[in-house]
A and B are shown apart, each in its own frame.
Chain A
Amino acid sequence: MFYREAGQFKTSYKADQALFPILQDRIGIAAILLIAFVAIPLFASDFFLTSIMIPFLVFALAAIGLNVLTGYCGQLSLGTGAFMGVGAYAAYKLTTAFPDANVIVMVLLSGVFSAAIGAVFGLPSLRIKGLYLAVTTLAAQFFLEWCFIRIPWLYNDNASGAIEVPRREMFGFIVTGAEALPITRYFVVLCITAGIAYLMANVLRGRIGRSWMMIRDMDIAAELMGVRPLQTKLMAFAVSSYICGVAGAMMVFFWLNAAEPSSYSIRLSFQILFMVILGGLGSLGGAFMGAAFIWILPVLLKFVPGMLGMDIAAETVEHATFMIVGALIIFFLIVEPHGFARLWQIAKQKLRVWPFPY
């Protein structure tokens, strides 16, 4: 209906292979970017930024990271939380070791460490597939979590056993630490998430993205077409872990300010996995939709009783939220196992062929 594609034709491969070849999609993306970069900063409250937008963007980035591995390369991972933790601890160590260095560079650099560790734990993927691989990543999850607790060097021997983000400035703005303004943090998180999402979109539409999908769809055929399975999978592990690492670092640096090992527990892994599955395996847009659903829904649910004028204990609300989220997850898996991205695709297809059914 809204997709009026008549008259949109491509006279070059460049245009044909653009990220958004359809004019209406380009308009939509421009509108979203406008909202994210202009409307939200202008109108949003601090609470909205801190409790909704910043975590949403952080989780969206983590979901992109996991999606690269699970959605595009077909390798199941339950260790996302730990890989995020590696990023967080690495960024913390880096910025405390080099206090004068630009903190954003440190955050981006921290991903390199999680990439390396991710690749190591990806090694068994050559021989192991599916649920068996999940064990490998669980091993990573528990082993790394243990490291965060047992290696005091990682948290600079803090008595609390947690990492506390120091104050860092950039171009005269305080970007990290307790005094950093939500709006500043929001812009940093938004730029990094949007930037990495764009770069990944580039990788995914090129040779490397294709080779991941080849492995995912039919690994034997991929190998017979000249794709080296180990290299390709390891690269997916590394890239995925890099992104998760950066997301993990952002999580503590721009959102939580301080983090304990339990922040990066298996629960987080599952949370991210849900975002990916519900958002849609193999879709970058889906990662955002999944993150919005899993993060924002519970936040909203907390306000529902209040809005309805009910006086319910915070605990009860939390329990109810768990139940509702659990039930909704099952519901959406039943309605559309391929996630919101597929739902959107179906809707888009309907709009494109409107008023016809096909």
Chain B
Amino acid sequence: MNAFVADRAPAPVEDAGERELLLRVDNVSLAFGGVKAITDISFDIRKGEIRAIIGPNGAGKTSMLNVINGFYHPQEGTITWQGKVRRKMKPYEAASQGIARTFQNVALFKGMTTLDNIMSGRSLKMHRNFFWQLLWRGPAEREEIAHRRKVEDIIDFLEIQAIRKTPVGRLPYGLQKRVELGRALAMEPELLLLDEPMAGMNLEEKEDMSRFIIDVNQEFGTTIALIEHDMGVVMDLSDRVVVLDYGKKIADGPPEEVQASQAVIDAYLGVSH
């Protein structure tokens, strides 16, 4: 459906399922009070792939992302990140280990400009202490400029030069989403989690966003896990898809395979789609 997807460079030679393991989720369960959000889910994300997590509303997709980046702590199961097994992790630890994300409802820093929002993504990479910051001249300024340069690359990449110094609160929704992607990219993540990156966008904005996602994946080699409702987009973008329904995994595999799976069809028909 998206004309540009055809432009995608030669298909990767190796099968996505055989690439190096980046993250594995084993038998994870999560509950709030008595309500089970996720039940015994296992899947993996491999280096360099675009992994989609789909499912009807309330299937536990966002909860799954929250577990991966440490915002929720699962009651059961383990998460293996780059070979290390863990149960619990603080969100900022996940961030420092290379997991970045965007949010379903844009979670930008409303009081700041586009530039500052993206600069905030560099927080972890900046180290000059308080006293250098007081002086500004010298090391702090040099560090700031070095990171500004990197941020400008992202601004250029996302084609948002014209809104560089606009407070993000004033931007239209589609651009806010783009800025949020920029902020996550500024972290130079190993794994980028995108929670419905195209929700509420029109066709043109969706196409732009799809192009950016593919470019991020190819230019920077960033592994991407995304939640998305638009099946066309999911089928075009992703290497592998995992399908959740009522907190349980019902399918996992390449897009065509998943699309053909009876369980998936039932799940989607069950919900009014």
Contacts and interface: CB of A to CB of B under 8 A. Distances in A.
Q: Do chains A and B touch in the complex (CB under 8 A)?
A: yes
Interface of A: 13-14, 17, 199, 202-203, 205-211, 213-214, 216-218, 220-229, 235, 239, 282
Looking at chain A's contact residues, is the secondary structure mostly helix, strand, loop, or mixed?
helix
Interface in B70-122: 71, 90-92, 94-96, 100-101, 103, 107-112, 116, 119-122
10 contacts: A17-B141, A206-B128, A224-B91, A224-B100, A225-B92, A225-B121, A225-B187, A226-B95, A228-B92, A229-B92
A199 to B, nearest CB: 5
Given A203-B133, A206-B133, A221-B103, A227 B108 contact: no
Contacts of A209: 133
Contacts of B124: 225-226
A346 to B, nearest CB: 13
Given A206-B140, A210-B119, A225-B100, A218 B109 contact: yes
Contacts of A227: 92, 123
B123 to A, nearest CB: 6
Interface of B: 69, 71, 90-92, 94-96, 100-101, 103, 107-112, 116, 119-124, 126, 128, 130, 133-136, 140-141, 143-145, 148-149, 183, 187
Nearest to B99: A224
A142 to B, nearest CB: 30
A210 B120 contact: yes
Contacts of A224: 69, 71, 91-92, 94-95, 100-101
Contact of B92 (A208, A218, A226, A235): A226
Q: Which of B69, B92, B96, B187 has the most CB of A within 10 A?
A: B92
B127 to A, nearest CB: 8
Contacts, number: 104
A213 B69 contact: no
A220 B140 contact: no
Given A17-B141, A207-B126, A213-B120, 13 more contacts: A13-B145, A14-B141, A202-B140, A203-B130, A203-B133, A210-B112, A217-B112, A218-B107, A218-B109, A220-B71, A224-B69, A229-B92, A235-B130
List the 8 closest pairs (A to B, CB-CB), nearest first: A226-B95, A202-B136, A217-B109, A226-B124, A221-B107, A207-B126, A13-B145, A223-B91
Nearest to A221: B107
A239 B130 CA distance: 10
Q: Which of A199, A203, A220, A235 has the most CB of B within 10 A?
A: A203
Q: Which of A209, A211, A214 has the most CB of B within 10 A?
A: A214
A205 B136 CA distance: 9
Contacts of A221: 103, 107-109
Contacts of A205: 136
A197 to B, nearest CB: 12
A225 B120 contact: yes
Q: Which of A210, A221, A225 has the most CB of B within 10 A?
A: A225
Contact of B144 (A206, A220, A229): A206
A111 B48 CA distance: 51
Given A199-B134, A202-B134, A227-B123, A13 B111 contact: no
A65 B240 CA distance: 52
A127 to B, nearest CB: 14
Nearest to B70: A224
B145 A210 contact: no
Contacts of B149: 13
Contacts of B108: 217-218, 221
Contacts of B134: 199, 202-203
A158 to B, nearest CB: 36
Contacts of B130: 203, 208, 235, 239
Contacts of A207: 122-123, 126, 128, 133, 143-144
Contacts of A239: 130
Nearest to A215: B109
Contacts of A210: 112, 116, 119-120, 123
B110 A218 contact: yes
B184 to A, nearest CB: 8
Contacts of A220: 71, 91, 107
Nearest to A13: B145
B183 to A, nearest CB: 7
B197 to A, nearest CB: 15
A166 to B, nearest CB: 30
Contacts of A199: 134-135
Nearest to B141: A14
Contacts of B110: 217-218
